[in-house]
């Protein structure tokens, strides 16, 4: 039995980007994450040991945003998704969207985002 866990709006300050000012000044990044998890044991036993701790997932995402800078948010999204798959063995697939609402774009816009979708297989 698979279930979906969604985490929305995890926010942290990071220094990702191609431009020197992005690396020096930094900016806020926001991440949404959807996990498809094997939930059979969690449902049967009602025990956190048999579930994916979404608090720990949120902390991992926050840490990755604040971590080593990368040029592209494509890389950041993939790095977060890969980390989740490696650390949380009950995760079957993960979709990570990195939002960069303060991207250096010269026209009015609301958001820029990139989504990475990875499976454990």
**Which residues are marked as active site?**
100
Give CA angle at 39 (91, 88), nearest 5°: 25
Residue 119: closest CA among 72, 85, 73, 86: 85
Strand 113-119 and strand 91-99: the pairing is antiparallel
Torsion angle of C-alpha atoms 75, 76, 80, 81, degrees rounded to 10: -40
* Strands in the chain per DSSP E: 2-14, 27-38, 91-99, 113-119
> What are residue 10's DSSP bridge partners?
31
């Amino acid at each position: 039995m698979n279930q979906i866990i969604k985490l929305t709006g995890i926010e942290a300050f990071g220094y990702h980007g191609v431009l020197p000012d992005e690396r020096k000044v930094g900016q806020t990044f926001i991440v949404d994450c959807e996990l498809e998890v094997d939930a059979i044991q969690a449902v049967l036993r009602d025990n956190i040991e048999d579930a994916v701790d979404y608090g720990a997932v949120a902390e991992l995402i926050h840490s990755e945003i604040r971590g080593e800078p990368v040029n592209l948010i494509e890389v950041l999204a993939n790095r977060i998704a890969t980390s989740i798959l490696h650390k949380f063995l009950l995760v079957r697939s993960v979709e990570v969207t990195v939002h960069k609402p303060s991207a250096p774009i010269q026209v009015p816009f609301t958001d820029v985002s990139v989504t990475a979708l990875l499976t454990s297989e």
